[in-house]
Chain A
């Protein structure tokens, strides 16, 4: 459904996207995560025909987003990260207006509008002026708007930002419904847990590059490949760090306040070895445990590693 080939976008000298290669299959829900400024919105704007790539190409449903922009617009529904509404329209009129923009016949507009308001749970707000809706309601109305022409692909840029936890859950339910309807959905977020339960595939972006992509399990499994040990000592922090850094099984050591976080490879016998090593050096260990990684740690790790630059190639390589 979506394919990009060495997609690049520069703003002046700054390269926001660097040779992005991305594939999203039809019918999947693709979660796009990454820290601020990673280039998620830029990618989505290019796919939505709003931005011209500096070089490289991109296709949506086998249509080139630059050459066949008109045809692409017909099959996508795009929701920007920030969008305004016309203050003089009611919710229903708002949807009818965009339906008209897509050339939908006059008699169908109202019906489509009502159905969509029903879908996003705004049925009782149909006569409310759009600017008096709450932020979350506007967001839901925005989602309804992306659907007026029944597109095959939805490109949603941080649709859940600014929503309270309950609204997020409701939003997720709506997206699940859309997935059942067979739509391909590309959704961006900074918050991985929000996406984890929803997405079939996740792509992690950082500094204009795709640093990891795969199913949620794959990414988590990969990040866990080296397990992380959390070690707390009462003294001899430097000494402990030095020892850990010299052991061959330890991949990396981070100091976090009073804790040492060590990423190690191998099985549990390695842990035993390291613990006895620390104890034999008379380092007062108070805590020695394997951290259980939740999905947020995975996100932090994947993006932090790529910032370190040291390991991100290996990550990209193994996950691909």
Chain B
């Protein structure tokens, strides 16, 4: 708790906030974010309502899932863009050496930049809540769905932010770091889908489905569990399957755990590549251990 308060009073965090709020492009980012999301969802609604004048709860879930997937894509577009420059930008501006000679630790620098960018993302999501309310008004969405979706957003945001900072810390140039971050996003978003499709096609051709409740190959489940879109759909529909093959593992939980662990690793990696005297990080990682030894 004390640590958290320390982080909040951190000057880098305060400056990031101040900078983000003073920046001229901030209102534009918020505006475009909402404009695109709202545009997609409203045109969707409009087309729906044209064909029938009542709304069935199943379609409401359909809409809710669609809205969440759009939100997910927006996160994937925006977060790498704002995080991939956090450390390398400081390096390019030649302000990093000075920051590193202050008594702020590398981990504090990374964490405060990370928290600042995530706070901004939270702001974007909060700003998009009115769009959700439109969907809620049609009914049929349980609190459970909402919790699951926002849990998913949270972990995805954390992961995307950590990945952006990681590339920013690893690669000296903001441009290249940004490209790498987007390439990773594309690999996860599209690459995984293609791989999954190929694997399932091969699987079907080798083992033509005889009865309905057969299980999918493990590798397909893992790939699906790594895909943000599939796991989100999985969380929304309890009868989810891959065209007749039911997943055995809980894809949603798998996703949350894997990406949380990855985020932690990426953050440690960012600190590692940021600190000038690198093996210091090892001391930092192993410090709790030492304390335990002393205490016992």
Contact = CB atoms under 8 A, between A and B. Distances in A.
A50 B103 contact: no
Interface in B229-282: 276-278, 280
A159 B97 CA distance: 15
A73 B101 contact: yes
Given A73-B102, A86-B93, 4 more contacts: A83-B97, A84-B95, A101-B103, A103-B103
Interface in A82-117: 82-86, 88-89, 97-98, 100-103
A3 interface: no
B211 interface: no
B42 to A, nearest CB: 36
Nearest to A103: B103
A145 B98 CA distance: 9
Contacts of B22: 88
Contacts of A98: 98, 102
B276 A101 contact: no
Which 10 residue pairs across A and B have the least CB separation, nearest first? A100-B11, A84-B94, A101-B102, A84-B93, A50-B276, A78-B101, A84-B95, A52-B277, A101-B104, A80-B97
Contacts of A73: 101-103
B199 to A, nearest CB: 44
A66 interface: yes
B15 A80 contact: no
Contacts of A145: 98
A194 B105 CA distance: 36
A69 B277 contact: yes
A51 B103 contact: no
A78 B98 contact: yes
A255 to B, nearest CB: 44
A223 interface: no
A78 B102 CA distance: 9
A98 B280 CA distance: 23
A202 interface: no
A232 to B, nearest CB: 49
A51 B275 CA distance: 10
Contacts of A88: 18-19, 22-23
Of B15, B97, B104, B278, most buried by chain A (CB within 10 Å of CB) is: B97
A74 B276 CA distance: 16
A101 B12 contact: yes
Contacts of A76: 101
A49 interface: yes
Contacts of B278: 52
B176 interface: no
Interface residues of B, number: 24
Interface in B146-171: none
B123 interface: no
Nearest to A109: B11
A86 B103 contact: no
A118 interface: no
Of A66, A88, A101, most buried by chain B (CB within 10 Å of CB) is: A101
Contacts of A51: 276
A100 B101 contact: no
A98 B95 CA distance: 11
A70 interface: yes
A100 B10 CA distance: 8
B94 to A, nearest CB: 4
B100 interface: yes
B14 A66 contact: no
A48 interface: yes
Interface in A157-202: none
B200 interface: no
Contacts of A82: 94
B94 A74 contact: no
Interface in A44-90: 45, 48-52, 66, 69-70, 73-74, 76, 78, 80, 82-86, 88-89
A74 B101 contact: no
A84 B88 CA distance: 13
B101 A50 contact: yes
B97 to A, nearest CB: 5
Contacts of B93: 84, 86
Contacts of B11: 97, 100-101
5 contacts: A50-B276, A70-B105, A78-B97, A145-B98, A149-B103
A76 B100 CA distance: 12
B102 A85 contact: no
Given A50-B276, A76-B101, A78-B101, A83 B94 contact: yes
A102 B12 CA distance: 11
A66 B102 contact: no
A45 B276 CA distance: 10
Contacts of B97: 45, 48, 50, 78, 80, 83
Contacts of B196: none
B94 A80 contact: yes
A116 B99 CA distance: 19
Of B19, B23, B102, B277, most buried by chain A (CB within 10 Å of CB) is: B102
A78 B280 CA distance: 20
B229 to A, nearest CB: 38
A98 B102 CA distance: 8
A78 B18 CA distance: 26
Interface string B74-112: 000000000000000000011101111111110000000
Interface string B20-35: 0011000000000000
